[in-house]
Amino acid sequence: MNLKVQLGKLTLQNPVMVASGTFGYAREMAAMFDLSRLGAIIPKTVTMTPREGNKTPRTVETTAGLLNAIGLDNDGIDRFLIEKLSDLIQYGSPIIISIAVKSVEECDLFGEKLRGISGIAAIELNVSCPNVSGGTDFGTDPALCEKIVRRMRSVTDHFLIVKLTPNVTKIAEVAAAAARGGADAVSAINTCLGMSVDWRNRKPRLANVVGGLSGPAIKPIALRCVYQIYQAFRKNGVKIPIIGIGGIASAEDLLEFLVVGASAVQVGTANFYNPTVALQIIEQLPQILEENGIDDVNELVGTLKT
Ligand SMILES: Cc1cc2nc3c(=O)[nH]c(=O)nc-3n(C[C@H](O)[C@H](O)[C@H](O)COP(=O)(O)O)c2cc1C
């Protein structure tokens, strides 16, 4: 049974990664299971300078989902590289570092910081955080997206994934712009803008008022986004892979994403209520594939019949 996935020059032993912001810096999870079994680990997004994030409450549960407005709370790239990266590398899975930039110029600074640093398998450029001001600007305007990706591309040789927001009318156009800018892959989706209200005291439940919805509630939206991107890529001869994210909590969910066009996936919110879910998915995959007469997970990619 082949579970190995080749995303351009990035090789994954299986198509199951853990999504940024939902697996901490993996340190917290290392006691739960052997992290070297994962396809890849994507730690919390880092920014050039430390960020405190938004006021609390920052998370609230909703029907079949989680609403968050963390606001990219992180210690900044310098402390990440000194304090977190060496731990992450020792877990034995490829480490895809997630970064967010405030400006086109900041790409150059990231390029310098990351040059020559070993142990980074890829960079995921987060142009889709809904919880910081300006956080989605690069992900909602195709021209801006192309510009920022092109600049990042020019300052790094790392495999470059661009993480897209669903909070647009035509996600395929933004994905195409990322590809034109030189992305090696796109990942979709980040969270969907939403809010939660306590009507009795007329208050929003999040201090930030609005936040990003994730979890099983958004899986149909994410599937639709991956499908639309895949169709548009195919029509226009764009060959870069798509990484599916959104509400994935089982091997069946993963396989749905492959069929609509994803080559691999990331598991997010499910880690919070079942920290070993990614491993369970990896372990369930061979049997489900075998039962269905499939001996290579890659066979399924983009096989949707309409
Ligand atoms: C609490 C929380 C924090 C998140 N932080 C980040 C982040 O720092 N960077 C990022 O790219 N995505 C972040 N995300 C988005 C997830 O990586 C993922 O794209 C999204 O939650 C959809 O997948 P899911 O439904 O499986 O959670 C965060 C999600 C949650 C729930």
Is the pTM for the entire model greater than 0.95?
A: yes
Judge whether 122 and 93 are in contact, CB under 8 Å. Answer: no
Q: What is the pLDDT of residues 159-202, one digit of tens each?
A: 999 999 999 999 999 999 999 999 999 999 999 999 999 999 99
State the Cα–Cα distance between residues 266 and 248, nearest whole angstrom.
8
CA-closest residue to ligand 1 atom 29: 21
Please calculate the CA angle 9-268-43 and round it to the nearest 5 degrees. 60
In this structure, CATH architecture of domain 5-52+73-193+215-300 = Alpha-Beta Barrel (3.20)
Q: What is the pLDDT of residues 133-171, one digit of tens each?
A: 767 789 999 999 999 999 999 999 999 999 999 999 999
Residues that are catalytic: 129
Bond before 189 cis per omega within 30 degrees:
yes
Domain ranges of the chain: 5-52+73-193+215-300
Amino acid found at 303: T
Question: Within 13 Å, how many C-alpha atoms sit on residue 263's CB side?
Answer: 20
For ligand 1, the distance from its centroid to the CA atom of residue 70, given in whole angstroms, is: 10
Residues with CB under 6 A from ligand 1: 19-22, 44-45, 66, 68, 70, 72, 98, 126, 129, 163, 190-191, 214-215, 218, 245-248, 267-269
129-138, 208-217, 247-256: range with lowest mean pLDDT = 129-138
